[in-house]
Structure 1
Amino acid sequence: MSKNQNNKKTENRGENLVNITSEYNENGRPQDESESVLDEAVDKVKAGTKAVINKVKDTDKDLGSEYNKEKTK
């Protein structure tokens, strides 16, 4: 804790960061969870890319519906 201009105690927001980080590293994220998060992100990028390509090919198509269609494949 430190004191500010008004002599009120203020909390150092980063003082607990080291403890949280070390706890996370000790416990870790399960490997399968990390892989599923990454796989999901890659799938979203692929679906978005395909939706944009479809939109460029046919400008009458709705980008959102194209994305949803590609995401479900």
Structure 2
Amino acid sequence: GDLRELVVNPNDNFPITLDSISNIVETVGPAQINRINQQRVAVISANIGMGDQNSALAKANELIKKLKLP
């Protein structure tokens, strides 16, 4: 599926897609595989538009806790 259609709050009654809260831009960057303790990891970065960093981090952590990750 398209990354834009990814639901960021799958356990909520009102699904929010990544496209509705972000501006996805395809760019060229260095190809690399990131690892922590020899385990592959995905690194996600973002720019905070309006608001402060602490509030954005708290909201991100709240959403992450709701995800069912392997």
TM-score by length of 1: 0.25
Question: Which of the pair is proportionally richer in helix?
Answer: 1
Structure of larger gyration radius: 1
